[in-house]
Each structure stands twice: as C-alpha cells, then as structure tokens.
C-alpha cells in the first residue's frame, strides 16, 4: 500500500526462476483477482523482485520476469488507478504502443507488442518495478490534491481504529 517504502525502491533482477518464484506469482494472481485488478507487481506484495502478473483480454493470467520496454511510441491518455492507491483514478498519458521483452515462468523469452490498455498496463507495472507510483506522473496541482486526499484517508482510518491502535 501507498506509504510502504518497498514501493519506492527499484526492484532487483530475478536471477533464478525457481519454485518459490512460481509460487509467488500464483499468490500474486490470487491477490490480484481478489482485488479485481488487471495487474500486480511484486513490490505491491512487499517483494522487491522484477516480476509482475496480469490478466487482460482473453489470453488468461500471465507473469513476466525481468520485463523491459525496449520500444515505445505515440501517446494515449486514460483514467488510471492502482491497487496500492485504492479508489483513486487519474488521467495519465503514456505511450500508446510498446514492445516488451522478458521471460515467462518456464524461463522462455517473451516478446510482446501491445497498445492502448495493454500497453498502459505494462508501463504501469514496470513503473512499480522501478519504484515509481502513478502519483509521480501527475502534474503539481493534481499531485497536491491526491496527497491531501491520501492524508485525509489515513487520518480517517486512524480515527476509526481508535486510540488503542495508535
Ligand atoms: Zn499499480
């Protein structure tokens, strides 16, 4: 969740695709489905490794290890949200088309051309692996308003939890 330092760190390369990593990916997919998200990056579950899972269109759930965007062009704006900043959406402009490479959980190289929603998803998840939240893509005024709202929510949560939780 927003505020956790793991979200601001660059995640480490995965050096070994082993059983534990596959298990992690499975758990991440469960978490993602429960939260009704389209994608989830490892830092969002507290793990600083370069891995994200996603499910978009009809391709079924997938995971990409050590993803890299090596080509990007065009511009596309969309109301974007993030499971680590729940319930908040911002108009964010990203590249319209990207080419992503990486590895699947069997260690096979993957090469994906994507546009619009799918391209946005890869850029969003890759940002997580580089320690960047979508709040950092906002302009000054939007960012201030968002931070204010996040502080207000945190205070409300504290109040609801009562003095015992402080
Ligand atoms: Zn996110």
Q: What pLDDT is attached to residue 120?
A: 97
Could you tell me if residue 51 is inside a domain?
yes
| Containing structural domain, residue 81 | 5-138
**d(CA 163, ligand 1 centre) in Å:** 31
Q: Which two tokens stand for residue 112?
A: 């994906």
Q: Residues with beta carbon < 5 A to ion ligand 1?
A: 82
**d(CA 81, ligand 1 centre) in Å:** 7
**d(CA 19, ligand 1 centre) in Å:** 25
What amino acid positions are annotated as catalytic residues?
Answer: 125
What's the whole-model pTM score?
0.92
Q: How confident is the model at residue 106 (pLDDT cuts 50, 70, 90)?
A: very high
Q: Residues 6, 48: contact at Cβ < 8 Å?
A: yes
Q: How confident is the model at residue 96 (pLDDT cuts 50, 70, 90)?
A: very high
CATH code for the domain of 126: 3.90.45.10
Could you tell me if residue 149 is inside a domain?
no
**d(CA 37, ligand 1 centre) in Å:** 9
Could you tell me if residue 61 is inside a domain?
yes
Rounded mean pLDDT of the chain? 94
- Does residue 166 carry a pLDDT above 60? no
Q: Cα dihedral sign for 24, 70, 37, 157? A: positive
- Does residue 10 carry a pLDDT above 60? yes
Question: 């680590």: which residue's tokens?
Answer: 84
Could you tell me if residue 148 is inside a domain?
no
Could you tell me if residue 16 is inside a domain?
yes
Give pLDDT tens digits for 111-146: 999 999 999 999 999 999 999 999 999 999 999 999
Distance in angstroms (rounded) separating the CA atoms of residues 166 and 131: 28
Q: Cα dihedral sign for 156, 157, 158, 162? A: positive
Q: Which two tokens stand for residue 141?
A: 């005024």
Q: What pLDDT is attached to residue 60?
A: 87
Q: Quote the Cα angle for 95-49-126, to 5°.
A: 5
């Amino acid at each position: 969740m927003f505020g956790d330092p793991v979200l601001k760190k660059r995640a480490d390369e995965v050096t070994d695709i082993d059983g534990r990593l596959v298990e992690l990916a499975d758990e991440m997919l469960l978490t993602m489905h429960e939260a009704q998200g389209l994608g989830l990056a490892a830092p969002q579950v507290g793990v600083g490794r370069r891995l994200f899972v996603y499910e978009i269109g009809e391709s079924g759930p997938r995971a990409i290890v050590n993803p890299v965007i090596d080509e990007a062009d065009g511009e596309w704006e969309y109301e974007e949200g993030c499971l680590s900043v729940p319930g908040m959406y911002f108009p964010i402009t990203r590249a319209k088309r990207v080419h992503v490479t990486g590895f699947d959980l069997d260690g096979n190289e993957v090469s994906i051309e994507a546009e619009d929603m799918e391209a946005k998803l890869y850029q969003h998840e890759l940002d997580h692996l580089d320690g960047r939240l979508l709040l950092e893509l906002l302009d000054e005024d939007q960012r201030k308003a968002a931070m204010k709202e996040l502080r207000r929510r945190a205070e409300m949560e504290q109040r609801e939890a009562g003095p015992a939780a402080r």
